[in-house]
Structure 1
């Protein structure tokens, strides 16, 4: 059975938090021997966290955990309880920076979704994805 763990990084509503989350995630995965997932996981976490920071006004959080089945779960929590807009196919987005985040998540993760969740005493949601650890 794989080692399980669970980390949560609470962040302010600040675009610089995306870089903090990427670097923290890289460190977590490297220290747990999952270096092969780092590049994809960093991309996915950056998209999820940047959406949380860009589209809401409150605090946010990055949560990363490894399940007993060996799946790495990455989620970004934000203070907007509304579901995210459905992802656009990447070929429709083109070179535009807007609208590509969940398209990248959908293309790179095994599965993704969202769920209502409360943190900091605020209602909100997690937008999450899963990566299989080889």
Structure 2
């Protein structure tokens, strides 16, 4: 008899064009993937945080983005968003990660990274040189939830 893991690993990847609808496409993809794998308990947080990172990729770059959802064997979900801009913003970059400037409560923009700090269990960023993955330079921002 084989050992059965509580959470089987899986990966979904999606390339997103530089398009204002990319965040909606990413949210729909996250909702479909997590629902089909029965991960309803983390769905709202992952959908929100993914939307924030994809929106930032659209607003702060002129190129495409990529989304990758990875279910890890220990039950965590890792979400990575690649874009073509090399700057890694706080809280993803170098310490102090907790010094993201406060955004006024009535501001229309600027709350996304605070949401990552609040709802993700872990997060990070990686600057990428030209890569063999045909993505070119840029950065990868990621977060993890669940477990």
- The reply to whether TM is greater than 0.5 is yes
Partners of 1:27 and 1:48 lie apart in 2 by 18
Matched pairs, number: 132
Matches for 1:1-134 after TM superposition, within 5 Å: 1=5, 2-86=7-91, 88=100, 92-117=103-128, 118=131, 119-133=133-147
Structure richer in helix, relative to its length: 1
SS class of match (1:77): strand
**Compared CA separation, residues 121 and 63, structure 1 to 2 (3 A):** closer
List runs of 5+ in structure 2 lacking aligned partners.
92-98
Partners of 1:93 and 1:64 lie apart in 2 by 31
**Compared CA separation, residues 81 and 4, structure 1 to 2 (3 A):** same
What TM-score do you get using the length of structure 1 for normalisation? 0.90
RMSD: 1.7
Partners of 1:112 and 1:51 lie apart in 2 by 16
Structure richer in strand, relative to its length: 1
Partners of 2:46 and 2:139 lie apart in 1 by 20
